[in-house]
Structure 1
Amino acid sequence: MPHHDTTALSGVIKHVFAHRFTLEAQGETHLADLGPKGAEAFSLSPGLPVTLEGERRPSEIKVTRIETSGREPVLIEHKKPNHAPGHKHADAPADVNVVLAAARKGGWEPKGEARKKPKHFEVLARQGQGPWTELHIDFAGAIYKQKPADAEKWSLAA
């Protein structure tokens, strides 16, 4: 698991995009993410001066604490990815043929190309004439997550 540096900034919110926002601080613009639950606990608005702490990621700051004058500080916990209980990613090489064979062995018929992620593949598949499903399959061939396929993500015709 990569280590992310923590950072603390004070500045003014410029733009709000649901639970993400831009913060003008120290002469720079930073993208910050409260997460959906954090946005419920701390309302964001352009022009609001805030102080935040969080983990600096390559694309944004995952906010773990945010406060502004006149309000109590809000602590935010970001949940880790949802994997099956006891699931550990295998240290196997990324071989798409192993992944597709595992899907077929599980009774799934893959469609299109598998999408490689850092520790797994995402595969669009279905069983018989059932609904399209997004499978998450680790490099060792274990299917550890199934969810309804997002039509836009997978370019499925209606």
Structure 2
Amino acid sequence: MPHHEKVALAGVIEHVFAHRFTLICNDQAYLADLGPKGAEAFPLSPGLAVRLEGEQRPSEIKVARIARKGGAFVDVEHKKPHHGPKHHHPDAPADPRVVLAAVKNAGWTVVGQPKPKPRHFELLAQRGAGEWTELHVDFAGVIYKEKRADADKWRLPG
């Protein structure tokens, strides 16, 4: 998991875009994200002087706490993304043999080796003479995502 630098800034809100906003601090603009629930708990408005603490991400600051200048901090909770009902994160160990057996039992023919990811494997597979498909398979062998294989990523066979 990436580690993000903790930041603390004080400045003035310049623009508001739903739950995101730009903060001007020391003549520099920062994009910050409160999340939908955070924006309900702390109403944003242009010209408002605020202090915030959060994590600097590549594209924005995920705000953990925010306060009006001189006021008390409001904690902001960011929920983890929801991946749908088939997306599992089981406690099973990462064993490519389990994944390959499950995919084969589901009628797929795999080309190459499974690519390990932190919580799943990605495989290039095909059913019969069908199109090449990228499969995402969790460590328990559950196929939770199927998508058309990208030719550049997989260097598709002839």
- The structure with the largest alpha-carbon Rg is 2
Alpha carbons of structure 1 residues 43 and 138: separation in structure 2 relative to 1, 3 Å: farther
With normalisation by structure 1, the TM-score equals 0.57
Identity fraction in percent: 59
Uncovered stretches (5+) of structure 2, i.e. residues with no partner = 108-116, 122-134, 146-158
Cα shift at 1:143? 3.8
* Equivalent position of 2:148 in the other structure: none
* Equivalent position of 1:154 in the other structure: none
With normalisation by structure 2, the TM-score equals 0.57
* Equivalent position of 1:35 in the other structure: 35
Cα shift at 1:120? 6.8
Q: d(CA) in 2 for partners of 1:47 and 1:37?
A: 21
RMSD: 3.8
Q: Which amino acid aligns with 1:137?
A: H
Q: d(CA) in 1 for partners of 2:11 and 2:2?
A: 27
- The yes-or-no answer on 1:65 pairing with 2:65 is yes
Q: Is the 8 A contact 2:89 2:138 kept in 1?
A: no
- Any idea what the Cα deviations from partners look like across 1:86-143, whole Å, max 9, x if unmatched? 44698689xxxx8xx69xx49xxxxxxxxxx99779xxxxxxxxxxxxxx93476634
- The yes-or-no answer on 1:4 pairing with 2:4 is yes
Give the number of aligned pairs. 117
List structure 1 runs of 4+ shifted beyond 4 angstroms: 83-86, 88-93, 117-121, 138-141
Q: Is the 8 A contact 1:52 1:65 kept in 2?
A: yes
